[in-house]
Structure 1
Amino acid sequence: MSLMYVQSVVIVRAPVVADRYGSERRDWAAATRSTVDGVNVQPAAPPAQSTEYTQDRQTTATGWRLYTPRGMDLDLLETDRVEYDGMTLEVDGKVGRWPRPGGGVHHVEAELVEID
């Protein structure tokens, strides 16, 4: 394995529950956690970058990218969260599974965002 893929993340997956009004929401208090070793997480390259929102309150959204090594698929959904280096990151959009010629997954890429 390359020295580039030495980080670990925790995938956080919350079940969908109905609230008292019948609306569905994610129950993050009852979420399951799965540790995944051998991935690479790094700050997102331009044009993805930190964005500051100041309309209602001061908020900064910082982009990150998660990569798996060649041949590694990842059980990650766009509704999951990822814990990494003391941060809780949300998956931003669909998870990219790059196909391998002849079938299977070559590698996985996911855009993550930290809302601070």
Structure 2
Amino acid sequence: MSLLFHQSFTRVRAPLMVDRYQNKKRDWPSAERVVFSGVNIQPAGSPPQSDEDTIDRQTTVTGWELQTPEGMDLDLLETDRVEHDGMTLEVDGKVGRWPDPFGPGVHHVEARLKEID
């Protein structure tokens, strides 16, 4: 195993529910949790990318990058959350599945994550 791909995370996937106003939203208290290991999760960029919003209250958004090793696909959707190292991160955009240039299947997966404090 590579020295880069030694981390684990918990994928949190919440079902859709309809509230009393007929709005669809995620039911996070009823979310399914599945542990994945053998991935790399690091701060995005160098230094880590972050945005701060100080209009109403102090909010810091920090970017993270998740990557799988060669040959590993990952059941992760843009509507999921990731629990890692005491943080709850949101998937930021579509999950990138890079095709294998030498055959069928996925070469590796990359996902942007964001932590909102």
Q: TM-score, normalised by structure 1?
A: 0.97
Q: 1: CA distance between counterparts of 2:99 and 2:48?
A: 24
Partner residue, 2:110: 109
Distance apart, 1:56 and its partner CA: 1.3
Q: 2: CA distance between counterparts of 1:97 and 1:45?
A: 20
Q: CA RMSD in A?
A: 1.2
Gaps of 5+ in 1: none
Partner residue, 1:16: 16
One-letter code of the match for 1:111? R
Q: 2: CA distance between counterparts of 1:22 and 1:46?
A: 43
Q: 2: CA distance between counterparts of 1:21 and 1:32?
A: 25
Partner residue, 1:40: 40
Q: Specify the SS of the correspondent of 1:34.
A: strand
Identity %: 69
User: 1:1-116 maps to which residues of 2 (within 5 A)?
Assistant: 1-45=1-45, 49-101=49-101, 102-116=103-117
Distance apart, 1:46 and its partner CA: 5.1
Runs of 4+ in 1 over 2 A off after TM superposition: none
Gaps of 5+ in 2: none
Q: 1: CA distance between counterparts of 2:35 and 2:96?
A: 19
Q: Specify the SS of the correspondent of 1:29.
A: helix
